[in-house]
Structure 1
């Protein structure tokens, strides 16, 4: 009978274990099956060899590459001499790109390898040995100490611990974890030898779920999430723990969720491909038209004496397409790539964006200009906006508010701060001014008694571990809020000396008092009710959030003032705890116990005596930075894994949430409730389409529900018409979905910034991803496009560098097309006069020199150093960030129109002036060679001066580039005169003759004069009658050009955003001036009231 029972039990256990498909055996003959080779996960999803394959695929799929490859093939078909003028530079360009990107990617992989070489202690039988993280296997027993980072997903065998998960899920509170009950009581020696079998579920991405079972001999126990710790968690308890590796490498919860890094392309790159396609269509049409017209001319007017070869119609078209393909030279891509990389270098060298943690690092130069067209910034909270510390800032005791002392820093104090900015800052979690509290307590009046009861209640209602080290007491708690409150109490003279389950001892500045704990109740979000006895009387102390208080307490008139203050503190963005107490007679307590110790009964008649105000400490400059972005028209929204209440508090204190606006809270827990809430908010937005001022607060679970097909359009509308938003309690995947939905709504550039594993999907899917640099490289900085040490550095990165780069690259792209359209259009017009035959008025070799030597340097200097408005003006008027769209189709059409008009002007003025057989100095008539030479010289002068016309800030480099290009051009012309066989040069001796011909000087002066008179006239009329904000800002900068360093008044703003300029010589930093000056009178919102000065 017993055997049958045992067999039945065995069968039941077998069935239960079946649902757990993974097994791990410890100290047993049966070995654990290894599912993954090594505990190594790559942040980008590929190794050293995979990099080259990835880069090649990315490059060869670009339209520009395909275009140049086709042109190279056409060149090979139609030309007898295999010059390789297209394929050679294309191969070099692709080669350089592959080498550059391979070096960058290889560097990142080397960093990952170094990180995975860190060692942990492995317990194997009687031995302990150090093993590299990458060599950890499933079933290894690992020893972890305080501040250790968990190297893989583990099951806790022995010990209790608190873990920090802010790097994983953005939550700022510690989580309690414990070992398996049947194991944790055993000694370490026994655990080393004990035969144990673990059965666990398949690896999955569910962050808050884990199931398994363990067998030790005849003992068994279920394993749950409380025994499980994820890779990346940080051990925050003093106690050493022993864990078992259960999932490693790509099978960890982090590894399963990991996505390959997305190759990002800027808006300008996409538009460049679009405009290239347009130009391809244009010159194909030109080629077809030219070939058809040539065919007709030959049929109608062709000479009988010319022996025309019968050629394929398509070959003729291809010949013309090849000739006109110079409209898009490879130099367009090369110039832009060089400019981008130098811009990235300049950004990295900016001393204003540097601190002790590091400096800005660009990892994707192709996105420099994308920083200039940001519409939304999606930011993480913990570690990005806040520094992970909770600070006890103020409190209300008996209706009297004790707050942080506000100090006004003088000029000298500010200067001292800046001089010592590199020194290590010590974080103080108590900012409350204690002097007044101590004075009121020592007066021994009514307020003094309330203060004593307030701090007693605070300390009694805490649950902390106490450890004495070197005569100092150290406190450990699950919540950082409790630690801040305990530290604040200690500063005021009230300190916990001992704490057990049965009693608590407090030092109240005068004596030590020990209380016996009779009963303790714990509720949500730190709510505690504690009944204590001091040998004389029984007191009830309670602590908690207002929302968890019973209505009976709220209804008491005596508590009204405290509740009103609490509401005000919440509006300011503080995390508040209300403290209450009451006395109880012994008879009342006995009666309460006899009636069943009901919690609601004990809360009756509690009087509220005070409030604690704790805030998450914002990083330096966060509030000011968000304000700047909002003034610039950029929406800053929070996307965090932290709880709703904390997210809202930080949203208010940082300025993300507008306190004056209506707030929509969406919290869906069932389908019926969700349907009603979404429909209600949708209808409100539908009726008030023009009003975009509301705040939106929504959590991750609600987002999942809203993204269902039937609700998707409605939530998109709700998000679209929200000015401010907080997405809280979001998982890593949900953060990525939020980026996606905003991109679908706005169709603009989204920037995401974060510092932890939980932010990776958001950073990867955003148009630009920013990682916050910590003491050591984290997952966010590995996968991001740019990394910065502090959130405030984002201001200069976006408003200044982003704005400049967007303008520079946008104008550079159109200029590079402009200068080649002029060249080819002149050739096209000339051929119209020659029966549309393929006559090169400018040789192919000269076109290459034109693009690579003669005209490349001035525009390159422009694309790196030019800026239309000084930084201090942009900081004063952040709305200037919203550039006109330099890459828009309208801008393209304007440049195209200018290029065609310039080519017609150059050709026909030359044609008209030289039509009547103008004579050279030697008596010869100007012929084909001289005519084409004058056209080329005119083109060169016009396109070179065009760079100077579009330049807003002239430096010595602009003039060096101009004179270098001219001198190089003239030098090559003279060299080619000396060597007539050089490169089949057919302008031999023409340059010398032209220098002696007056009409040559007349033309090269007249043509630019006519063209630029038109440009100057348009610029003047536009500034006079339809000025833009940019024009007005330029005027402000021009009028204040003589401002000096000594007039600076906005020291605080300079300290936040322009630290490095403080000690520069006066003449080097005038353009960074923030001083209040006459420019204040300029109002960018009232442009018509400003009289512009033409300069």
Structure 2
């Protein structure tokens, strides 16, 4: 909108006339140009119609607003030569400017977008560098002419490439040749499936037997490969007249661990298994972000409603939509466009802070967008093996049906095995049976011994197999050598037994068993050895009456059980099996099903050999961690693929089931009726810990999904055994569906936990023995389960509370200035004119307030120790009260009140220039924001103090430098400071009182556990506020001596108090009180705070007395200043004052006031600190604080009467206040009434007889009594 300046009367000076503003506005032909009315002296009748404060005020504001800082001056112009020298001024340029916006208008939005774009660009640039490094990696390509070197990005399907040891496989290749004599090589697949164990890969026999690598081209071979798919555990292909499976393929992004390999490329680029399995998980959005988005939508609606109301009040016309858009733009600061940047930067800081926490070393934040989710977890779903347990298997027990051997009897096993191999016993003796069992365990596995640096280690896909092989070595049967076709066992008596490996059937999660067909080279016996889960093996072995019972017994002991069986094969059975098995391997369609069917015909009528038990120990501090999480209100579910008995045993030993829980085990559920009955039985119980199987869960969810969600969410703990990875994710989705908005976290360490981790709101992966797949797929990675407590209870709390405070202040920052804009527009006839222009609006949300508001990210409402000591505090976070619609409405009301107080206060106290309104209101706005941040802080940090000081310094410099927006002469006066202080006090002090009362009568839960370190802060705030309130009480003058000395003393008081607050906050005194360390000169440690209070109070009292004396000195230089009325008539002589009738006692009365003020500060500090120290321990702790504050202001009020005729009465009242405070302070410090009465009469005559500090009941001086020996030997000369 454009305004044209009104004309002025030529004969009447505008400053000398009474300017008024007509309410009528004239419209020109351009509907967006309005002429403000002329300023003139209206006739008396018009004056009578417009008499009133607001009319006069509005005209003065509009007129000064239009001319900005430029006043209209007369000028003398020489025709053709411009203004005469001496009258030349800075006249405005003769340009037309109808622009509403300038470059500064778009700086905030540009800053927001720039920060976001830079962050994304940096992340993407790092990805680009990593991709370029991988694509430029050099490999050897085998050609008929020799070897060429090509980069990884130039590899094509059909190329023969050579891969060296410890090199990354660049594409999916078929394994043709290796330099290893066994014809097999190991690969590491941790970057593909997360498993750290080496995998064995076998070269194609046709090409492995060639002499040279170039001989491959002479074979003219063709390879058939199935179409690309995701399954990394299956591959179907053919090679000449042989078959290819997953053991003949090296997947991309695996690492060759042994030998040198030649392979042919079959899949490249996005068709490789690695890329096809790299599906981007669902982007997770935190609940706090959702809540902030909802509040932002409300704020946007509020902007539209407020703009519509302003347009309606202005009056509707044909151009209403233009005014609507103008008001929307004026109130657009309500929409917190900078909130997203602040939250993103805060989340990066949270991630950095979590990563550098030395209490949870090696913790990695892989998703920096949801750290606040850690503070609102209600359900924690955990894997068992490797998560709650260490996944370090130890062989603990072997059962042969009639006898069992535990770890303390393994020496007996060694003797039996040795005697059996010695041939001294019969075939059917007990030692022979035990030797058969040990030998079967030593042969039925997929373990390969490797030697590195002279040490032998075992490589296997499962830690269970390694535990079994190590146990056989312990009892005298060691695995000495193994390759693709043979295996050797080294016996304890020095003998070596060799076996041929005919067929190997690896373990899979579907079959839950593994088998091997071997031939004993000594006896030519062919045997099929099998081991697997009891649920699978029970249907394959011959009838027995002990397997099921012993499996249950071992499970109750917390052992992982495996059933070992054997079947002796004839040559005919082996030949028939090999024939059909080869035919199944050559099929392309459904090859796995055909091979499994052939194998099942062989896996019948097995002889049960033994039952093994392996222990998986609990991780460190699992029991205490689960107890902390339960006390924090988090419900913990354990999801495992292990058997029911083992799961229950681990749940009890780990503390997942408490002693008071009623454990309810779901029975066999196969039909809808079974599910209905079990759910009804569960409904009738209280304090239930539920145990169910995966099969029962499927049936229940099929028919009663909602009921299941309701019932199991009410259980204290849930254990789901025999649970598949899909079912784990299904349970997470069930909670997300029926218990929204409660947050769900999932923690696991294996590849089977990835789906559960990715489905949860917060996925936590443990970097453990099973591999890194879960850790890489998770949002947060920790080295052990015990770290989850600090991650949730401490960092989760901090992240959520800090982000809530940050969000609220960013919203408050935009609301308060928009409320001021709305009031400004309402006062001036709903004009769509901006209150603050250009640079001020940009600097308001960036330079002046960004640092203090952002410093809230280092705030702590409780210490980390208290957060872990009182886990119940975590329950409050799940309710979301820190950022809710209730708190949102409260902050809106606060913004409305403060914006109204600042704006109306500025309009009421301004003089004549509109620029004074800008200066006063904008300064009060900035100071109000800084004070509000300070009032919100729970624990001060050096970064907060730095942010407050830096922002205040920058704004103070702006007041002096930005003369286009501020009147430099005005802002350097005490009038400006007094008016700004008064407005700020009105806007902040009521909120301070409300907060203090609310903390007293309805304190938050964390305040009950807070330490005493904040008491010094409140004294600091109290002193500053009291000192600040002195300024508007008197008519402050521009006296050099007064201003300089007062300012120096003011900052000196602040510095001294801040140092004292830091000493208390640093914990030195608190540490002495808690640990029993002694402070020099103080014997009664529990009264050390009184000593510190006396010292601090004495320092502040001296400062106050000095300030009072400065007032007296300053009074001789000019009218009275702070604490003194300005009504004293002064004579012309600068150094003399005309005294009032009673002013002859003026030096005496003020000297007495100074002394009493010093003593009062000592007593006030003792009372104040004692009340803060007793907070939460007694219901009357607040009385001492209130008495100290009230008496403080009473003394201040009475000081104004020292220059009146009532000065004697004032001195008496001040003395009574000092005496009352002194008595109460001494009682607080431990002096009893009898002692006080007895010593009072001696206090003035026995001052030299003060003894040392009391060591028992108090920390105040102890006086000598008249009956003491020291008194008789050394009598006081005053008494005598």
Give the TM-score band, short-chain normalised: 0.5 to 0.7
Match of 2:372 in 1: 369
Distance 1:823 1:643 in 2: 61
Match of 2:278 in 1: 258
Match of 2:222 in 1: 197
Match of 1:961 in 2: 947
Contact 2:750 2:770 (C-alpha < 8 Å) held by counterparts:
no
2:395 aligned with 1:392: yes
Match of 1:283 in 2: 303
List per-residue Cα deviations over 1:501-559 (Å, max 9, x = no partner). Answer: 99976534x66486999999999735899999999x99999977655358999966xx6
Of the three residues 862, 870, 873, the one matched with 1:877 is 870
Distance 2:312 2:603 in 1: 96
Distance 1:651 1:631 in 2: 20
List per-residue Cα deviations over 1:551-579 (Å, max 9, x = no partner). Answer: 999966xx69xx86753442354223468
Q: CA deviation at 1:939?
A: 3.7
Shift in alpha-carbon separation, 1:165–1:965, aligned structure 2, 3 A = closer
Contact 2:196 2:769 (C-alpha < 8 Å) held by counterparts:
no
Shift in alpha-carbon separation, 1:101–1:784, aligned structure 2, 3 A = farther
2:86 aligned with 1:98: no
Shift in alpha-carbon separation, 1:81–1:827, aligned structure 2, 3 A = closer
Shift in alpha-carbon separation, 1:860–1:339, aligned structure 2, 3 A = same
Q: CA deviation at 1:818?
A: 1.8
Of the three residues 568, 575, 584, the one matched with 2:560 is 575
Distance 2:188 2:673 in 1: 38
Distance 2:816 2:831 in 1: 19
Contact 1:364 1:785 (C-alpha < 8 Å) held by counterparts:
yes
Distance 1:772 1:526 in 2: 28
Higher relative contact order (CA 8 A, sep 6+): 1
Of the three residues 332, 336, 341, the one matched with 2:343 is 336
Distance 1:906 1:134 in 2: 66
Q: CA deviation at 1:892?
A: 1.2
Deviates more, 1:270-279 or 1:625-634: 625-634
List per-residue Cα deviations over 1:756-781 (Å, max 9, x = no partner). Answer: 87776666555445566699997777
Secondary structure of 2:99's counterpart equals coil
Match of 1:87 in 2: 106
Of the three residues 800, 804, 808, the one matched with 2:798 is 804
Match of 2:888 in 1: 892
Deviates more, 1:255-264 or 1:268-277: 255-264
List per-residue Cα deviations over 1:885-944 (Å, max 9, x = no partner). Answer: 222222212222232233445566777xx5xxx7x9xxxx67866566555444444332
Secondary structure of 1:614's counterpart equals strand
Shift in alpha-carbon separation, 1:92–1:719, aligned structure 2, 3 A = same
Contact 1:157 1:242 (C-alpha < 8 Å) held by counterparts:
yes
Secondary structure of 1:246's counterpart equals strand
Shift in alpha-carbon separation, 1:94–1:392, aligned structure 2, 3 A = same
**Is there any run of 5+ residues in structure 1 with no aligned partner, and where?**
1-77, 297-309, 404-431, 583-596, 1042-1065, 1078-1086
**Is there any run of 5+ residues in structure 2 with no aligned partner, and where?**
1-96, 178-182, 506-510, 568-600, 1018-1065, 1078-1174, 1186-1280
List per-residue Cα deviations over 1:859-910 (Å, max 9, x = no partner). Answer: 2222x21011111122223343341522222221222223223344556677
Q: CA deviation at 1:104?
A: 1.6
Q: Following superposition of structure 1 onto structure 2, how do residues 12-91 of structure 1 map, counting pairs within 5 Å?
A: 80-91=99-110
Distance 2:321 2:707 in 1: 54
List per-residue Cα deviations over 1:204-225 (Å, max 9, x = no partner). Answer: 234555434443xxxx345455
Match of 1:407 in 2: none
Shift in alpha-carbon separation, 1:1074–1:211, aligned structure 2, 3 A = farther
Of the three residues 310, 326, 333, the one matched with 1:326 is 333
Secondary structure of 1:366's counterpart equals coil
Shift in alpha-carbon separation, 1:450–1:128, aligned structure 2, 3 A = farther
Secondary structure of 1:276's counterpart equals helix
Shift in alpha-carbon separation, 1:92–1:601, aligned structure 2, 3 A = closer
Shift in alpha-carbon separation, 1:857–1:392, aligned structure 2, 3 A = same
Match of 2:992 in 1: 1012
Of the three residues 922, 926, 937, the one matched with 1:951 is 937
Shift in alpha-carbon separation, 1:779–1:483, aligned structure 2, 3 A = closer
Deviates more, 1:717-726 or 1:498-507: 498-507
List per-residue Cα deviations over 1:182-213 (Å, max 9, x = no partner). Answer: 66666666545312222333222345554344
Contact 1:909 1:1007 (C-alpha < 8 Å) held by counterparts:
no
Shift in alpha-carbon separation, 1:272–1:243, aligned structure 2, 3 A = same
Shift in alpha-carbon separation, 1:179–1:991, aligned structure 2, 3 A = closer
Shift in alpha-carbon separation, 1:904–1:566, aligned structure 2, 3 A = same
Distance 1:477 1:760 in 2: 22
2:313 aligned with 1:293: yes
List per-residue Cα deviations over 1:975-1032 (Å, max 9, x = no partner). Answer: 45xx4xx24x4x5644345527866655544543233212211221102xxx53x233
State the aligned residue count.
Answer: 877
Secondary structure of 2:325's counterpart equals helix
Q: Following superposition of structure 1 onto structure 2, how do residues 232-247 of structure 1 map, counting pairs within 5 Å?
A: 243-247=263-267
Secondary structure of 2:395's counterpart equals strand
Distance 1:800 1:853 in 2: 31
Q: Please report the TM-score for the alignment, with normalisation by the length of structure 1.
A: 0.65
Distance 1:598 1:334 in 2: 66
Contact 2:441 2:472 (C-alpha < 8 Å) held by counterparts:
no
Shift in alpha-carbon separation, 1:210–1:487, aligned structure 2, 3 A = closer
Shift in alpha-carbon separation, 1:809–1:665, aligned structure 2, 3 A = same
> What CA RMSD, in Å, does the superposition of the two structures yield over aligned residues?
5.9
Q: Following superposition of structure 1 onto structure 2, how do residues 665-1064 of structure 1 map, counting pairs within 5 Å?
A: 687=683, 693-698=689-694, 723-724=717-718, 740-747=733-740, 748-751=742-745, 766-769=760-763, 785-788=779-782, 792-838=786-832, 840-843=834-837, 845-862=839-856, 864-882=857-875, 883=877, 884-885=879-880, 886-906=882-902, 914=908, 934-976=920-962, 979=963, 982-983=964-965, 985=966, 989-992=969-972, 995=975, 1002-1023=982-1003, 1028=1005, 1030-1034=1006-1010
Secondary structure of 2:133's counterpart equals helix
Shift in alpha-carbon separation, 1:260–1:542, aligned structure 2, 3 A = closer
Contact 2:664 2:689 (C-alpha < 8 Å) held by counterparts:
no
Contact 2:666 2:678 (C-alpha < 8 Å) held by counterparts:
no
List per-residue Cα deviations over 1:71-123 (Å, max 9, x = no partner). Answer: xxxxxxx9734324432332233123212221122213423443455566655
Q: Following superposition of structure 1 onto structure 2, how do residues 436-835 of structure 1 map, counting pairs within 5 Å?
A: 454=434, 457-463=437-443, 480-495=463-478, 507-508=491-492, 512=495, 525=513, 546-547=534-535, 548=537, 567-577=552-562, 603=607, 612-616=612-616, 625=625, 628-635=628-635, 652=651, 655=654, 658=657, 687=683, 693-698=689-694, 723-724=717-718, 740-747=733-740, 748-751=742-745, 766-769=760-763, 785-788=779-782, 792-835=786-829
Contact 2:237 2:244 (C-alpha < 8 Å) held by counterparts:
yes
Structure showing greater Rg? 2
List per-residue Cα deviations over 1:332-368 (Å, max 9, x = no partner). Answer: 44443443333333333333343xxxx4454554333
2:374 aligned with 1:352: no
List per-residue Cα deviations over 1:739-772 (Å, max 9, x = no partner). Answer: 5554333334444566787776666555445566
List per-residue Cα deviations over 1:584-627 (Å, max 9, x = no partner). Answer: xxxxxxxxxxxxx99998848x7x7xx64324566666665555
Distance 1:253 1:946 in 2: 56
Distance 2:811 2:602 in 1: 82
Contact 1:720 1:745 (C-alpha < 8 Å) held by counterparts:
no
Contact 1:678 1:715 (C-alpha < 8 Å) held by counterparts:
no
